[in-house]
Amino acid sequence: MTLVYLLILAVVYVFLDFCLRKKLHTKMTKSYWRSFKGRRPLFITIEMVMLASFLVLIFVIPPAYTSVFMFLFLFLLYVLRGFEEWKFERKQKERYHSWFGATFFLFGTFILLMTDM
């Protein structure tokens, strides 16, 4: 049942992100994963530390909560990227999409926590 909730949430997210892109007149980038070109070294370093700590946590925590920590990691990653875009690239309205993605992962975390209990 958890998978069904997450799939519904993902479909709603894709639809609302498409509507937000139409309203803000922003285009989808060619690649979902951003390159590191043109990004601030501080933010790249923070992302790498977050990734390393997440990978360590995978082996330390019980397997039942790995998906919860994955969603929390992605939530923090999108918040950090949205902050970087807000701070340094205000003319591009990509920060709204990053923060919207962060709320998606936050709701996904709540769904995983509520259905696992």
29, pLDDT greater than 70? no
More confident residue, 55 or 25: 55
> Hey, how many other C-beta atoms are within 10 angstroms of the C-beta on 21?
16
pLDDT of residue 78: 92
Residue with tokens 């977050």: 50
pLDDT of residue 31: 53
pLDDT of residue 92: 83
Q: What would the mean pLDDT of 36-42 be, rounded to a whole number? A: 79
Chain mean pLDDT for the chain: 86
pLDDT of residue 33: 57
Within 13 Å and on the Cβ side, how many CA atoms surround 117?
Answer: 6
Q: What would the mean pLDDT of 7-14 be, rounded to a whole number? A: 92
Cβ contacts of residue 58 below 8 Å, gap of 6+? 66, 69
pTM, to two decimals: 0.82
* Contact status, residue 69 vs residue 62, Cβ threshold 8 Å: no
